Structure formats: structure tokens, C-alpha cells
């Protein structure tokens, strides 16, 4: 009985030991990446896992892989992964993950992320310091560029932006002739290709290079230039000082002008303006300014003197009035015997006028033609007028004179000097030829000096009305008209 009990105890012990070995902990050897995913910008990109080669390939689009991304990774139960799945990675290059099974077995996976992006994102060309950007149509894979003046320089290196990690052909740094349609092929990292057609719509540079208007604004008065585009000339008439004038100039659109219109010029001589069109061609205009002025008058006289005068570019038939003025006085004068003619293309009018005896003595008078109160022409010099002791002729001893006659004038304050314009010459006689009595009431001049004063002596018709002027010490006085034979 006792032996039987020992046997049972032995069998129980063996059974218990056997059960303890079978029920011990079994550690897993699973070390797989079951799924791998990159999510960005609301998109999920699943990796393709090859368990044999332990590789994971992910194809993405519209993601900047140089930015750190936290992937979503599923691995075997009870396994661990390094680096941690919660660690952001730069997937622009391969990333390795080590998966360690519960039992310590390791598996190394290599993750390769390839972009499918093959887009041109920006395209521009700069032919002449102006950049023209293309409009990209992703549906039709076209790039349209609206240019101006591309014909001036069409072979250019474009500025191109395209997908990261993609390549482009032809090379973006190669110059192309954009007067022709060009194609660019963008190859993604995963080999996918897109071909873009670059189309340029060019507007030719303008060849317009005209001066459209040319004006002077002097003393709030506008003077308009007359433009001849065939001869490239501008003609302007004014009575103002033009030694320093900045004109008002209008030129063709997109053209430039040199010198600049805001630069003052001296228009007493011709001034040349170069107008350059947008296409680089140019015209050179010559600006000629003529002064509408009174000249050829006497500059020093007594009252009662009669003077010849000449005015250019003024039509005296338009009721112009003649004034002798300075800052203090203004006198309306009578002018007469007008004669209009053209002198080297310049409209010119000759006239005569009389210095009234009521004019006060002054050294600074100017002669001015006015209409409606506005001065249209004036003398560029001042006129010296003397009122005191002014000579006065009351009569002559004859109405008609021939060579060898004696001219005797009666009057008051007469002076020993004469000036006689005759037969296109001016004859001047001083006290060596002209005598005046002591009380200055009688002047005597023997006409025995110059027969050329008389028209019959030079083969011209006679008698001819001739003006005889008192002239002494450079100052004109009263005059009388008599006939010379």
C-alpha cells in the first residue's frame, strides 16, 4: 500500500513539471511594416510595401518633400520601430526604418518617396528690361505670353519655375528664339512627363516718332508752332524774348524726346529735337523761331521827326495800332505809306510814322504794334526822344529841286545838318555843307555836291518825292518832302 502511494506521487510530480514547460511565455517574431502613408494638404499617399525586399515606395504630388513630414505607420503587434513613427522626416531622400519584433528580431525597411509633379509653375521672359509673364493653362498644357517689342530681341533665356525634383528639357538656362513656338517637357521624379507649348503673342514696337504739337507759353500768352512733318521743321513766330524758353511739346505715344521739353533753350538760333520711337528709330526736328518785331526805325530823334519802320510777320491790315511807350508814358502814333512784301520768305511791311510834338523827353521808349490791347510786335531796342528845342520846318524856298539848285528851309530851332534818302542811298551833310543863320530860322544847302541824289542823273523817272530830314549830332529832327528832278 505504501509503495502504491509513492508511485502516484511520482507520476503527479512528472505531470506537473511537464505542464509547467508547455505553459511558459512565447515571444512574437513579427517585425513587419504593415502599412505606410504620407498625408499632406488633405491628401493621403499610401506606400507600396514589398515585404521580400523590405522596400516601401510612395508616390506623391503637390508636396514639398524638403519639409519635414510625420508619416502614418502601422507595424506588427508588440513590435517597435525606430526612428519613431511620430518623428517628422525629410522624405526628399531615402529614409530607413528598423522594426524590432517582440523576440528581438529586426527588419530594416527603406522608404523611397517619389514625386509625380511635372508642372511648370511660372514662366517669364525679359526682352528689353521689361518682364512679360506667361499665363499657364494646365488643362491644355500651354503657356501664353503677351509681349511688346519682342522683335527687338527674341532670343532669350527664360525664367522658369517647375516642380521640385523634376527635370526640364530643353534646359531652362538655354536661350531660345521666342519668335517661334517652343515646347518644354517636364519629367517628374517618378518619370511621368508633361509637355508645355510656349506661345508668344507679340505687339510690335511703335515706329511713331512725331512732334505732334509745339508751343511757347510766355507771359501767359501761347504761341503755336507750325509743324512740317515732311521737312521735319517747326516754325514759330513770337514777339517775346526767346533766349531761355522751355517749350510745351507733345510727341507720339511711347516715344521719347531729347533734349527734354522741360529744359530751357535759346531759340534765337535753330534748336534741334530728336524724337525716338519705341522701336528705336528717330526723327530730328529743326525749330526755327522768328521774332515778330519792329526794326529799321530811327533810334534818336527830336519830336516832329518822321521815321521809316519795318515790321515782320504782321499783317497791318488787321487794324493794328502803333504806340510809343515806356513805363511812364504811352502815345498813340499815326503810321502811313505801308508797303507789304516778302523778304527771303519773311512777310515784311514797310511803313512811316511821325513823332508827335506832345511826346515827353525820355531815353527808353519802345515802339509797339498792338491789337485789342495786346502787344504783337515791338522794337528790340529803345528810342531816345528829345522834346526841348526841337527843330521845326515851316516852309521850303521851292517845291522842286534840280542839281545845282539851293535848298533854303525856314523854321525854328533849325540845325546845320541834313540826311536825305534818295535813289537807294542815304546822303548825309554836316555843317561843312549846311549853314544856319544865327537865330536858327533859316537853313541853306547848295545842291552842288552829289548829283546822284537826283533821279534824272541816274536814269530814273522824275520828279520824285524826296524826304529831307534835319539831322544833327546823330539825332533826327523835323522833315519836309519836296520833288527831286
Give the Cα-Cα-Cα angle 107, 112, 114 (nearest 5 degrees).
Answer: 165
User: What mean pLDDT do residues 132-142 have?
Assistant: 96
- The domain defined by 392-484 folds into Immunoglobulin-like (2.60.40)
Q: Distance between CA atoms of 129 and 444, rounded to whole angstroms?
A: 86
Q: Where are the domains of the chain?
A: 33-115, 120-203, 211-291, 294-386, 392-484
Q: Is the confidence at residue 428, as pLDDT, over 70?
A: yes
Rounded to the nearest integer, the mean pLDDT of the chain is 92
The answer to whether domain 33-115 and domain 294-386 are alike in fold is: yes
Domain 294-386, CATH among 2.60.40.2300, 1.10.290.10, 3.40.605.10, 1.10.260.40: 2.60.40.2300
pLDDT value for 7: 47
> Tell me, what DSSP letter sits at residue 204?
P
pLDDT at 24: 61
The answer to whether the beta carbons of residues 429 and 448 sit under 8 Å apart is no
Q: Is CATH 2.60.40.2340 the classification given to domain 211-291?
A: yes
Percent of the chain residues topping a pLDDT of 70: 95
pLDDT in tens, 52-62: 999 999 999 88
Kindly report the CATH class assigned to 33-115: mainly beta
Q: Would you state the pLDDT for residue 317?
A: 86
DSSP character for 205? P
**What does the alpha-carbon distance between residue 254 and residue 485 come to, in Å, rounded to a whole number?**
70
Give 3-state DSSP helix, strand, coil % of the chain, rounded to 5: 5, 50, 40
Average pLDDT of span 169-184: 95
Look at residue 193 and tell me whether its pLDDT is greater than 90: yes
pLDDT range class, residue 456, cuts 50, 70, 90: very high
Q: Tell me what percent of the residues of the chain surpass a pLDDT of 90.
A: 84
Residues 298-330: tens digit of each pLDDT: 999 999 999 999 999 988 988 899 999 999 999
Q: CB neighbours (10 Å) of residue 142?
A: 15
Q: What is the pLDDT of residue 63?
A: 85
Mean pLDDT of 434-438: 98
Fold classified for 120-203: Immunoglobulin-like (2.60.40)
Taking only the tens place, the pLDDT of each residue in 106-136 is 999 999 999 899 999 999 999 988 999 999 9
The pLDDT score that the predictor gives to residue 22 is: 52
What residue spans of 214-287 are helical by DSSP H? none
170-188 average pLDDT score: 95
Provide the pLDDT confidence category of residue 19 given band limits of 50, 70 and 90: very low
- Phi first, then psi: give them for residue 279, nearest 5 degrees: -85, 5
Give the pLDDT band of residue 239 (cuts 50, 70, 90).
confident
Residue 464 has pLDDT above 60, yes or no: yes
At 360-382, the pLDDT tens digits run 999 999 999 999 998 999 999 99
Amino acid at each position: 500500500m505504501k509503495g502504491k502511494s509513492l508511485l502516484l506521487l511520482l507520476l503527479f510530480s512528472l505531470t506537473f513539471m511537464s505542464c509547467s514547460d508547455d505553459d511558459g511565455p512565447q515571444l512574437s517574431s513579427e517585425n513587419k511594416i504593415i502599412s505606410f502613408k504620407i498625408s499632406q494638404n488633405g491628401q493621403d499617399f499610401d506606400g507600396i510595401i514589398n515585404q521580400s525586399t523590405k522596400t516601401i515606395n510612395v508616390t506623391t504630388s503637390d508636396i514639398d518633400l524638403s519639409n519635414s513630414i510625420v508619416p502614418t505607420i502601422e507595424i506588427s503587434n508588440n513590435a517597435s520601430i525606430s526612428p519613431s513613427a511620430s518623428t517628422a522626416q525629410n522624405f526628399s531622400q531615402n529614409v530607413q526604418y528598423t522594426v524590432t519584433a517582440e523576440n528581438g528580431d529586426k527588419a530594416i525597411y527603406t522608404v523611397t518617396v517619389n514625386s509625380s509633379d511635372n508642372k511648370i509653375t511660372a514662366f517669364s521672359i525679359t526682352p528689353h528690361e521689361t518682364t512679360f509673364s506667361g499665363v499657364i493653362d494646365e488643362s491644355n498644357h500651354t503657356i501664353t505670353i503677351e509681349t511688346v517689342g519682342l522683335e527687338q530681341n527674341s532670343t532669350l533665356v527664360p525664367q522658369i519655375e517647375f516642380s521640385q525634383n523634376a527635370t526640364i528639357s530643353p534646359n531652362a538656362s538655354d536661350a531660345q528664339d521666342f519668335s517661334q513656338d517652343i515646347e518644354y517637357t517636364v519629367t517628374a521624379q517618378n518619370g511621368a512627363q508633361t509637355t508645355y507649348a510656349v506661345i508668344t503673342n507679340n505687339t510690335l514696337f511703335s515706329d511713331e516718332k512725331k512732334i505732334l504739337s509745339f508751343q511757347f507759353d510766355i507771359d501767359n500768352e501761347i504761341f503755336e508752332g507750325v509743324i512740317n512733318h515732311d521737312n521735319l521743321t517747326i516754325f514759330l513766330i513770337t514777339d517775346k524774348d526767346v533766349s531761355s524758353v522751355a517749350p510745351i511739346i507733345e510727341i507720339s505715344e511711347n516715344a521719347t524726346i531729347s533734349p527734354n521739353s522741360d529744359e530751357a533753350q535759346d531759340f534765337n538760333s535753330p534748336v534741334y529735337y530728336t524724337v525716338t520711337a519705341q522701336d528705336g528709330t528717330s526723327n530730328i526736328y529743326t525749330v526755327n523761331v522768328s521774332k515778330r518785331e519792329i526794326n529799321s526805325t530811327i533810334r534818336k530823334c527830336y519830336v516832329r521827326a518822321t521815321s521809316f519802320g519795318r515790321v515782320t510777320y504782321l499783317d497791318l491790315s488787321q487794324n493794328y495800332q502803333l504806340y510809343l511807350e515806356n513805363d511812364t508814358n504811352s502815345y498813340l502814333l499815326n503810321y502811313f505809306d505801308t508797303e507789304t512784301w516778302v523778304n527771303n520768305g519773311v512777310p515784311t511791311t514797310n511803313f512811316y510814322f511821325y513823332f508827335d510834338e506832345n511826346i515827353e523827353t525820355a531815353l527808353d521808349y519802345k515802339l509797339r504794334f498792338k491789337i485789342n490791347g495786346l502787344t504783337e510786335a515791338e522794337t528790340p531796342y529803345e528810342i531816345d526822344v528829345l522834346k526841348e528845342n526841337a527843330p521845326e520846318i515851316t516852309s521850303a524856298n521851292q517845291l522842286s529841286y534840280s542839281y545845282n539848285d539851293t535848298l533854303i528851309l525856314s523854321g525854328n530851332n533849325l540845325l546845320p545838318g541834313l540826311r536825305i534818302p534818295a535813289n537807294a542811298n542815304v546822303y548825309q551833310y554836316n555843317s561843312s555843307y549846311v549853314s544856319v543863320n544865327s537865330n536858327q530860322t533859316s537853313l541853306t544847302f547848295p545842291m552842288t555836291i552829289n548829283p546822284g541824289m537826283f533821279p534824272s542823273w541816274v536814269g530814273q523817272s522824275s520828279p520824285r518825292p524826296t524826304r529831307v530830314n534835319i539831322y544833327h549830332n546823330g539825332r533826327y529832327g523835323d522833315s519836309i518832302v519836296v520833288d527831286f528832278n
